[in-house]
Homo-oligomer: A and B are copies of this chain.
Amino acid sequence: MFNYKVISRILGILLIINGGFMALCLPVSIYYWETDSVSLAISSAITLACGFLLKHLARNNKNKDLKKKDGYLIVTSGWIVMSFFGALPYLISGAIPSLTDAFFETISGFTTTGASILNDIEAVPRGILFWRSLTQWIGGMGIIVLALAILPFLGIGGMQLFVAEAPGITPDKLQPRIQETAKRLWYIYVGLTLTEAILLYLAGMGAYDAINHSLTTMATGGFSTMNASLQGQPAAIQYIIIVFMFLAGTSFTLTYFGLKRNFTKIIKNEEFVVYLLFTLAITVIVTLTLLVVTDHGIERSFRDALFQVVSLITTTGFVSADYTQWAPFLSVLFFILLFVGGSAGSTAGGVKVIRHVVLFKNSFLELKRQLHPSAVMPVRISGKAIEQNIVYNVLAFIMIYILVFLVGVTLLSSMNVDFDTAFGAVATSLGNVGPGIGDVGPVDNFSGMPMAGKWLLAALMLLGRLELFTVLMLLSPHFWKKR
């Protein structure tokens, strides 16, 4: 039934990549003459060894066919296995002594969520903090492949929709050209990360902080190396971060077209247009509110508004101000933004703009269908009629998203977490955003959550990151039936 040898091989390769990136942190640690070098070396060695072992186990496999079911299993177990091994540097160095906390911090990294249990980030050795930023960057890289190649192949929640536009990919098959496409998009990912790091450095940020922040921006991760996140940073730095957060939340396929100067593709892409206009509209509303409730003047209000709106819509989760103090209205608005999500095919988490577009169009059409029950009215995206079963799939995705959210809130509140906090923590974890409201607000962290709550939130991060179905599928007995 399952092709365990191929699964083992792929998990092995993932661990080797993981261990390799860990080794990259060694020079950083050595450069700063810190004590954590040894623990990074040990973690990397263990991870590499296990990786090679797993790969070796599968050496005599002749059957290289992967079925859909294998795909679900690989994706979910891959993320979980990576997170356990990724926690080694925290545990061995003692930077995060508890397994629960270390696993939470790591899966929050690999899922690009950015929720943290660290009370004093600046006290953590720089080599370890660099690993922390790298987990997000690796996670972002994984997501690009996942969104472009694996999820559409698995038929998850309407991801076919978006991929129809990507070069060299058809929704039905994993074509040979996919490797080439992935490479091309990774070049963009790497290129944008370097560009942002250089710009941040030029704007006055230290080299170490500049690299770390660019790694976590492009992953829409939001881990910062500073306790205050980006509060109080100069305007230039905040604007640079805003631009790159927005790019990270844009489909990488579109950015590719942009670099090729194919701007009509961009303007005709309905998801992008909605993403852009929605971001601007909410920014205007928030700016106006800030002009009323604060006396910060127009530039500062606009920048604070734009930063927070882009940070939440792209699910990055950087913080430039404690926005929960601004006005009750903005708390509610920003809570709702936790459910938006950036574009499909970006590193952003959440529901994604394209699904909202399908949802809204279909809802309005339903009113029309009521008056003219016999007329056929398909949902159209970028001018093309969408197949009924894909629309159906998108609606089911959103419904399950809401159900998972409500189950999460109920479970978390049963651990004596209050109303606001439970709503905020679950929404921000499931949406891979990072900061929530209540006790897990933008200037707080998750260290005070009950232990069971941390495991619950970790599970929600994974569910959200893997577009629900990939993980939920494994929970159905039907999946494990031999056939």
Contacts and interface: CB of A to CB of B under 8 A. Distances in A.
Given A155-B370, A336-B406, A328 B395 contact: no
A362 B416 CA distance: 32
B410 A370 contact: no
Interface string A310-354: 000000000000000001110111011000000000000000000
Given A399-B395, A413-B329, A371 B479 contact: yes
B398 A399 contact: yes
Nearest to A397: B366
A156 B69 CA distance: 39
A443 to B, nearest CB: 17
B473 A396 contact: no
A400 B469 contact: no
Given A154-B370, A478-B368, A422 B332 contact: yes
Contacts of A398: 399
Contacts of A155: 370, 373
Interface string A469-481: 1001100101100
A402 interface: yes
Interface in A415-439: 416-420, 422, 437
Interface in A347-378: 359-360, 362-364, 366-368, 370-371, 373
B363 A156 contact: no
Identical subunits present: 2
Nearest to A333: B410
Contacts of A364: 476
A363 B406 CA distance: 15
Contacts of A472: 367
A403 to B, nearest CB: 7
A472 B413 CA distance: 35
A360 to B, nearest CB: 8
Contact of A362 (B329, B371, B396): B396
- Residue from A333, A359, A399 whose CB has the most chain B CB atoms within 10 Å: A399
Instruction: Decide if the interface of chain A is mainly helix, strand, loop or mixed.
Output: helix
A269 interface: no
Contact of A420 (B362, B373, B420): B420
Given A400-B363, A402-B402, A413 B368 contact: no
Contacts of A359: 399
A258 to B, nearest CB: 32
Which of A406, A417, A419, A437 counts the most chain B CB atoms within 10 A?
Answer: A419
A420 B332 CA distance: 10
A392 interface: yes
Nearest to A324: B419
A183 to B, nearest CB: 28
Interface residues of A, number: 51
A329 B403 contact: no
B328 A371 contact: no
A290 to B, nearest CB: 13
Contacts of A331: 413, 419
A179 interface: no
A449 interface: no
Nearest to A364: B476
Contact of A469 (B370, B406, B416): B370
A406 B398 CA distance: 15
A68 interface: yes
A67 B393 CA distance: 34
Nearest to A438: B419
Contact of A416 (B328, B409, B414, B437): B328
Given A332-B410, A373-B155, A392-B392, A367 B419 contact: no
Given A371-B68, A473-B371, A416 B366 contact: no
Interface string A19-55: 0000000000000000000000000000000000000
26 contacts: A155-B370, A155-B373, A328-B416, A328-B418, A328-B419, A329-B413, A329-B414, A329-B416, A331-B419, A333-B413, A336-B406, A359-B399, A362-B396, A362-B399, A364-B476, A366-B400, A366-B469, A367-B469, A367-B473, A367-B476, A367-B478, A368-B478, A371-B479, A392-B392, A419-B420, A420-B420
